[in-house]
Amino acid sequence: MKTLINESLVAEQNQSLMPALQEDYDHLGAKLQRSGIDIEAVTQQAAKFQVAVPSWGTGTGGTRFARFPGIGEPRNIFEKLEDCSVINQMVRCTEKVSPHFPWDKVSDFTELKGFADDLGLGFDAVNSNTFQDQPGQEHSYKYGSLTNTCPQTREQAVAHNIECIEWGKTLGSTALTVWIGDGSNFAGQSHFQRQLERYLDSAKEVYNALPDDWSMFIEHKMFEPAFYSTVIQDWGTNVLCAMELGEKAKSLVDLGHHAPNVNIEMIVSRLIQFQKLAGFHFNDSKYGDDDLDSGSLHPFQQFLIFNELVDAEHRNQPGFNPAYMLDQSHNVTDPIESLMNSAEEVQRSYVKALLVDRDALYGFQDSNDAIMAANTLKAAFNLDVAPILAMARVRNGGAIAPIATYRESGYRAAAGVKRPSSGHSGSGIV
């Protein structure tokens, strides 16, 4: 596997940090032992955890108002993969990349697959894009794509989703994520039922093009770009459509796509129960689809979501196989640093959820002991599991201190020289 940061730098940095880490790890191990938990078993679980990186997150994002480009932003999917390989080299829990088309379209997908292979990377769900017009496109998506009132426009959107599946097959992907921006800005602008009927007709065509081992991930979002109504606005409409389409269609939960204060962990539980949980786009938010770094504002909420996921794992819930992906936009940080941090934050939530004393929790739930049930969750959440995460990284060949080692490598400054700014976002959004 080709690595872009000098391995001896990683080893050197790790060596100087190892004595302190070992001490902290042993201390945590002794503490967990008192509760009958074997730290080694937890570290092994942590070392197996994976979350995919969004290709579009490697470029600096922007808002409706402005975009402030960063140094050495990737200009194409090959450079995005280079950045993703640096992220994975440091954190070792991001082996897969989720590509977005046509932003990441290339003329030779076999070549792209080979390029990723060399960097030790694979591909997660492919994303279609019918929320934007592309240069030279025949029919505009201004008034919708899969739900447009014009049949030719719908056909064009269906054809794009099908070409994404074709490209994804070459890349070794097994899922298509469909998020549409379709909706309306005025009361009365669209007929709700007819619009959703058109969605289902189009989505069925896409669904029928899925290979046997593929899934279709439907992603809902309450608002934006449409501000009065959105066609797939919430998990209710999402799961109804997934049920209508069939077994291969499932609902994807993007943490920033819900009404404020919605109980997301409960939505997750419902989707798990009915085998309709596709997976996640992790991020954090305060107001809406803010795409802030995972766990940066609501780590307890993220932990509660993982509590449901680990609980399903623990119960061997049938059909449980969610895809974990990040979906963020970085405006004021180096995207590589944000993505490394976020991957670690997601992994942290997973590890804390592993430490919940489930049998005790079930007992308190059955005996209606509310305070002890809450305290059982809090006990796991309040543990500092950083030594487990760092140890899992080192054992997988990563860095004890990902950001410090990455900064020390000078990768960003070198990218700045190799990749003069194009003025465009690597994400393709702004």
Residue of 79, 82, 83, 254 interacting with ligand RM4 (CB under 6 A) = 254
Question: In 186-294, which ranges are continuous DSSP H helix?
Answer: 192-208, 235-245, 264-273
If one asks whether residue 67 binds Mn ion (CB under 5 A), the answer comes out as no
The binder of 127, among Mn ion, ligand RM4, none, by C-beta within 5 to 8 A per type, is ligand RM4
Taking residues 249 to 278 in sequence order and writing x for each that binds Mn ion by CB under 5 A, - otherwise, the string is -----x------------------------
- Rounded to whole angstroms, the Cα distance separating 257 from 264 reads 10
Looking at the Cβ atoms of 14 and 251, the one nearer to Mn ion is: 251
Residue of 92, 96, 281, 352 interacting with Mn ion (CB under 5 A) = 281
Helix axes 402-409, 335-354, angle to 10 degrees: 160
Question: Which tokens in the block code for residue 417?
Answer: 């020289």
Strand partners, 52: 325
If one asks whether residue 308 binds ligand RM4 (CB under 6 A), the answer comes out as no
- Rounded to whole angstroms, the Cα distance separating 29 from 121 reads 32
The binder of 406, among Mn ion, ligand RM4, none, by C-beta within 5 to 8 A per type, is none
Looking at the Cβ atoms of 339 and 373, the one nearer to Mn ion is: 339
- Rounded to whole angstroms, the Cα distance separating 11 from 137 reads 50
Looking at the Cβ atoms of 219 and 344, the one nearer to ligand RM4 is: 219
Segment (H or E) for 126:
strand 126-127
Taking residues 323 to 362 in sequence order and writing x for each that binds ligand RM4 by CB under 6 A, - otherwise, the string is ----x-----------------------------------
If one asks whether residue 127 binds ligand RM4 (CB under 6 A), the answer comes out as yes
Residue spans of beta strands (DSSP E) within 268-368 = 277-282, 323-326
If one asks whether residue 337 binds Mn ion (CB under 5 A), the answer comes out as no
For residue 225, cis peptide bond before it (omega within 30 degrees of 0): yes
Site for ligand RM4 in 184-243 (CB under 6 A): 219, 221
CB of 239 to Mn ion, least distance (A): 17
Looking at the Cβ atoms of 5 and 180, the one nearer to ligand RM4 is: 180
For residue 299, cis peptide bond before it (omega within 30 degrees of 0): no
Residues 6+ away with beta carbon under 8 Å from 59 = 70, 73, 74, 80, 335, 425, 426, 427, 428
Q: Residue 324: how many CB atoms within 10 A of its CB?
A: 22
Number of residues that bind Mn ion (CB under 5 A): 4
If one asks whether residue 289 binds Mn ion (CB under 5 A), the answer comes out as yes
In the complex, residue closest to ligand RM4 by CB: 179
Q: Would you tell me which residues interact with ligand RM4 (CB under 6 A)?
A: 56, 100, 127, 179, 219, 221, 254, 281, 289, 327
- Residues in contact with Mn ion by CB under 5 A are 254, 281, 289, 327
